[in-house]
Amino acid sequence: MTADPVVRRDVDPRLLRAFVAVAEELHFTRAATRLYVAQQALSRDVRRLERELGAVLFARSTRQVALTADGERLLPYARRVLEAQDDLVAAATGAARPLLVDLNSPGLVFGRILERARALAPECELMARFESGLTGSAAEIVAGRLDVSFGRYAGLDPALRAGLDQQPVRYEPMAVLLPAGHPLTELDAVPLDALAGETVYAGAGNPGTPEWTGLARLLFEGRGIGIAPPAPLAVGPEEFERVMAKNRNPVLAVVDFPAMPGAELRPLVDPVPLSPVSLVWRKGLIHPGVDALRTAAAALAAEEGWLEKPANGWLPATDALIMMSHN
């Protein structure tokens, strides 16, 4: 007895674009505006996709639209299909889609890598974002809403790492941002043990940056340095400056952290703690912009010794193994 043949179903990409737009907007009118189509046509396409797949993708009411369990399950697959189609068209026409690159914060060295990549691939549109730590970015990359980010790859959940690729970029020396008038501002560099008894802000409670808080916990362990408890996230430099002036907690940072009024940055020494930075992108992503970013990162790392680990540098063993993967 032979098995029944598998029935092949070819899904129109237009229907998938309608589904993804509604899933991201959770509003048919906004999704129709985004796609430049009539709302009736969009609703018709979504219903047709549901019929073809034999699944209800949205729970609709007069007040809201929500994804069903089937819709949640199918959404990442739909995004990957549309991305593959965009890549196919780009390969045929030579016109790549825009690449979305999260730099975490303005003023960091990642911006130099982006500018070098733009010079290497002027035909590409490399769009900067300033939104999140690597954990937050990685979830967006895997979901297809972002393409590239930077940060501590070893601090990611293994389930996230399974959908990503990485290239080590830099051992970034860490620093401490001190409120004006703090006694340690009298030093040109702050020995790590001088922070004993201090409570240092390291992003605890921020869902986008647990990889950074985890690095701080490893660094402070056994040194008598506390981590400030979770607090509402200060968004924007003005709010960050206000909260820092109010709480007067030192802030764990990196040596290239942009200048901030009312605070002074000092490098940490004895030992020099290192923040391991990788370039991270979605596994299987083929895009000339990614090639340009990888080339730019490697060139700057070679020119400026970013991957030369200081003899007195501190780094967790798991991070060291990942950072050595470039050899």
Question: Residue 245's domain is classified under what CATH number?
Answer: 3.40.190.10
| 5 in a structural domain | no
**Same domain (yes/no): 287, 154:** yes
Residue 70 is predicted with a pLDDT of: 94
Residue 1 is predicted with a pLDDT of: 45
**Same domain (yes/no): 268, 190:** yes
**Same domain (yes/no): 218, 140:** no
| 2 in a structural domain | no
Residue 241 is predicted with a pLDDT of: 67
**Same domain (yes/no): 18, 103:** no
Residue 235 is predicted with a pLDDT of: 65
Q: How many domains does the chain have?
A: 3
Residue 114 is predicted with a pLDDT of: 96
| 231 in a structural domain | yes
Residue 104 is predicted with a pLDDT of: 85
**Same domain (yes/no): 293, 313:** yes
Looking at 46, 76, 92, the residue that finishes a domain is 92
**Same domain (yes/no): 166, 314:** yes
Residue 15 is predicted with a pLDDT of: 92
The pTM score is 0.71
| 156 in a structural domain | yes
| 229 in a structural domain | yes
| 127 in a structural domain | yes
| 6 in a structural domain | no
Residue 37 is predicted with a pLDDT of: 84
**Same domain (yes/no): 266, 284:** no
Per-residue pLDDT of the chain (327 residues; tens, 9 = 90+): 444 444 456 888 899 999 999 998 899 998 888 888 889 999 999 999 999 999 999 998 878 899 999 999 999 999 888 888 777 766 655 556 789 999 988 778 899 999 999 999 998 899 999 877 899 999 999 888 899 999 999 999 998 898 899 999 999 999 999 988 899 999 999 999 999 999 998 888 888 899 999 999 999 999 999 998 877 666 666 666 676 666 778 999 999 888 788 889 999 999 999 999 999 999 888 888 999 999 999 999 999 999 999 889 999 999 999 998 754
258, 177, 311, 303 alpha-carbon torsion, rounded to 10°: 0
Residue 324 is predicted with a pLDDT of: 85
**Same domain (yes/no): 118, 255:** no
Domain residue limits at 63: 13-92
Residue 320 is predicted with a pLDDT of: 92
**Same domain (yes/no): 162, 298:** yes
**Same domain (yes/no): 245, 182:** yes
